[in-house]
Structure 1
Amino acid sequence: MKIKQFIMIIILVSSFTISTNVAAASNNNKENKIPDFPETNSLNNRYFSYFIKDLYHKEIMDAFQSYYKSKGLKPTGFNPSSEDPDYGMVSIYFGNDFSEKYTYMLKVSLSPTTDEKVLGRDTLYFAVEPSRQLMKDYPAIKLVKYEHKEQ
């Protein structure tokens, strides 16, 4: 599982590099036969959100279950916290103010669910250091803050 996460992070970092190179070469699209990409990022943000949610699914579910345990509830899944299909459920903040031990902060906004109902609107803040994916002594991701809002 750790190897899968490490590979996914490498792909994620590579995609940022590739998209930067594509943007720089956009003037040569006709010569290079590269299709014009949509101007809006909404579709890309949605796919990026799905990617991050899948990558850190265990950590997200652990945080949900830990938070709701005292209330006697057990979340079994989550939904986007907005009705808008292009809503960015995940955002990244580089230039981490939390600690020198983590590369970036990850903000995840979701609505945890049980089989019967939505439990609220929750925002989780994680500190992430992708280079630690294969290390056992240091966590690659750490929950920093948990916010809950009733719906």
Structure 2
Amino acid sequence: NNNEENKIPNFPKTKSLNNRYFSYFISELYHKEIMEAIQSYYKGEGITPKGYGPYEDPDNEMASIYFGNDFSDKYSYMLKISLLPTTDDSKVLGRDTLYFAVEPGRQFKKNLPKDYPPIKLIKYEHKELSKK
């Protein structure tokens, strides 16, 4: 997706135990969508990720939420999730940050128009991990 068209906001930074629990909750709640995004990203490289681990960074949280966005006419908030995608043999593929627009009110509704999914991937960022 074009970042000029979809401006990504500055997400708040918090360092608390509650935010860590929130991060785990969000990653479980949207596990299916997260895995679909990760597998789609690596498909072109012939890699099949099987899971992910939390990205523990003292300057960033694994998951954060931002209210008010360029998608506010269709989505309540944006979600930023930083993860370490892994393969079957536990090889870490890099540090990936996924940005989703979310409308939780649509989560359990059936037969929604394709233009109004409950969660939509806006941007996918991949960074190689530095080798020590």
Aligned to 1:82: 56
C-alpha distance in 1 between matches for 2:60 and 2:20: 7
Question: CA shift at 1:95, angstroms?
Answer: 0.7
Structure 2, unpaired ranges of 5+: 1-13
Question: CA shift at 1:83, angstroms?
Answer: 5.8
C-alpha distance in 2 between matches for 1:89 and 1:129: 20
Q: Which has the higher contact order (CA 8 A, sep 6+)?
A: 2
CA contact (8 A) 2:15 2:61 kept: no
CA contact (8 A) 1:65 1:75 kept: yes
Q: In structure 2, what residue type is equivalent to 1:70?
A: G
C-alpha distance in 1 between matches for 2:57 and 2:124: 22
Structure 1, unpaired ranges of 5+: 1-39
CA contact (8 A) 1:95 1:104 kept: yes
Question: CA shift at 1:87, angstroms?
Answer: 5.8
Q: What is the root-mean-square deviation in Å for CA atoms of aligned residues? A: 1.8
**Which aligned pairs between 1:17-32 and structure 2 lie closer than 5 A?**
none
**Does 2:42 match 1:64?**
no
**Secondary structure in 2 matching 1:72:** coil
User: Which structure's CA Rg is the greater one?
Assistant: 1
Aligned to 2:92: 118
Question: CA shift at 1:41, angstroms?
Answer: 5.5
Q: Deviation string for 1:101-136 (max 9, x for gaps)?
A: 000000000010002310000000000001111223
The aligned length equals 111
| The structure with more helix, counted as a fraction of residues | 1
Runs of 4 or more, structure 1, over 3 Å off, are none
TM-score normalized by structure 1? 0.68
Question: Identity rate of aligned residues, in percent?
Answer: 71
Say which of 29, 35, 49 aligns to 2:23. Answer: 49
